[in-house]
Amino acid sequence: MSIFTGSSVAIVTPFQDGKVNYPLLQKLLEFQLQNHTDAITICGTTGESSTLTDDEQIECIRFTVEQVNKRVPVIAGTGSNDTDHGIELTKRAYAAGADAALLVTPYYNKTTQKGLIEHYTLMAQAVDIPIILYNVPGRTGLNLAPKTVAELSKIDTIVALKEASGNISQIAEIAALCGDRLDLYSGNDDQILPLLSLGAKGVISVVANVAPKETHDVVQKFFDGDFAGSLSLQLDLLPLIQALFIEVSPIPVKAALELMGYPVGVGRRPLTTMEPANLEILKKTLTNFGLNKL
């Protein structure tokens, strides 16, 4: 069975005075659940996992599991460029009650395709939790090749792939090689519908932080057979998606949530505030979508 079908928000981590703001995280979770988000992905790239301590990361996961209380699946970002560290984080996330783990490819040190197979195989063997592979070469400098994905899909607990390469031809090849053995999720908000047409189950989304129902509806309309409605929504969302990536994510999405009345704070350094000209574009776009509350 799929971990989820539809839209999973890659939720931001709110900060106040340098610390995780758990009361606000609770409000963000309820906002998502009230607007039909189908799963919560906590401590992914958008959640700034790279600048959370291990203890903060696990506490965010535990808190989210507790607050969501089985209403939707909770997916924990526990990937690392250190296999042993990733195993430890994933074990702790599993103990905290996560329903699945999102494991990004190793970054900076990178590895070969052989190394990727060993990395993910060892992680899959260490923890009995469903695993979503995460391919985002723009962030990591490393691409998860289709034949590598096909090999990893033979492992029972490796059940899905979040694909953010932007390479539709590559994603089509993965779909052809893996078939029903592996669920696909779009990792790019501007490619939800194209990936659905290749058999994807949904999206793990940044734009869902500010437009959860609309993001859910892009997928739901597709599976309801309303392809024109899905297409219309996908295209309608493009200006918002573009504004949310006008600077390095999650800088704009956190600024957007601030404008919507959720004081999530600025990202941890080296992330910083938006350039004034870009912030004006974001404000105008949110106003056009009826989301700017300030």
Q: What number of other Cβ atoms are within 10 A of residue 93's Cβ?
A: 29
> Would the pLDDT of 1 be above 90?
no
CA dist 294 and 275 (Å) reads: 18
CA dist 156 to 2, 58, 124, 294, Å?
A: 13, 25, 9, 48
The HSE-up count of residue 141 (CA atoms within 13 Å, CB side) is: 6
Q: Report the predicted TM-score, pTM, of the whole model to 2 decimal places.
A: 0.98
* List of domains in the chain: 6-224 (3.20.20.70)
User: What is the percentage of the chain residues whose pLDDT exceeds 70?
Assistant: 100
| DSSP count for the chain of H helices, then E strands | 12, 10
Mean per-residue pLDDT over the chain, rounded? 98
b/e 238-261 (16+ beta carbons within 10 angstroms → b): eebbebbbbbebbbbbbbbbbbbe
CA 244 distance to own-chain centroid: 14
What tens digit of pLDDT does each residue of 98-148 get?
Answer: 999 999 999 999 999 999 999 999 999 999 999 999 999 999 999 999 999
Average pLDDT for 242-263: 98
Q: What is the pLDDT of residue 90?
A: 98
Helix (H) or strand (E) segment spanning residue 39: strand 39-42
What tens digit of pLDDT does each residue of 21-55 get?
Answer: 999 999 999 999 999 999 999 999 999 999 999 99
The catalytic residues are 134, 162
Radius of gyration of the chain (CA): 18
Q: What is the pLDDT of residue 294?
A: 79
Both structure tokens of 193? 């519908």
